[in-house]
């Protein structure tokens, strides 16, 4: 993962990671990456062009020159409530064979 990566690119990578798991969990309910929101560890929305990771790893030294340091960067890929509510309505109205669980974690 590059240290300098924009929120849009990071969102694409995150979506690629969770898409199959979402499809398994939701029994194929469609999820569009544009419906998702990328947030930082303070739950602030990250703009598409924001440099997400470098602030956690590039720190200015005594000479005021940025240097790579170990660090941590946490981001969240949120499924907004309105999107998840639509999924729940779809799931609850879906015809299922008798005694089939709604979903399995």
Phi, psi of 25 (to 5 degrees): -65, -45
Model confidence pTM above 0.75: no
Cα 61 from Cα 54, distance rounded (Å)? 15
Number of domains into which the chain is organized: 1
For 58, 83, 90, the CA distances from 76, given in Å and listed in that order, are: 21, 16, 25
Q: Range of 31's domain?
A: 7-93
Query: Is residue 99 included in any domain, yes or no?
Result: no
Query: Is residue 16 included in any domain, yes or no?
Result: yes
Task: Please write the tens of the pLDDT for every residue from 6-29.
Answer: 888 889 999 999 999 999 999 999
Task: Please write the tens of the pLDDT for every residue from 27-75.
Answer: 999 999 999 999 988 999 998 888 877 767 777 888 888 887 777 778 8
For every residue of 38-71, DSSP letters joined together read EEETT-PBPPTT-B-SHHHHEEE-TTS-EEE---
Query: Is residue 1 included in any domain, yes or no?
Result: no
Query: Is residue 101 included in any domain, yes or no?
Result: no
Query: Is residue 41 included in any domain, yes or no?
Result: yes
């Amino acid at each position: 993962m590059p240290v300098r990566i924009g929120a849009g690119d990071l969102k694409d990578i995150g979506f690629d990671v969770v898409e199959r798991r979402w499809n398994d969990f939701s029994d194929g309910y469609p999820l569009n990456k544009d419906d998702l929101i990328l947030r930082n560890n303070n739950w602030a929305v990250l703009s598409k062009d924001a440099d997400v990771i470098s602030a956690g790893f590039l720190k200015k030294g005594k000479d005021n020159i940025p240097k790579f340091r170990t660090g941590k960067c946490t981001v969240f890929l949120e499924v907004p409530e309105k999107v998840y509510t639509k999924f729940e309505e779809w799931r609850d109205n879906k015809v299922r064979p008798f005694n089939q669980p709604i979903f399995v974690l």
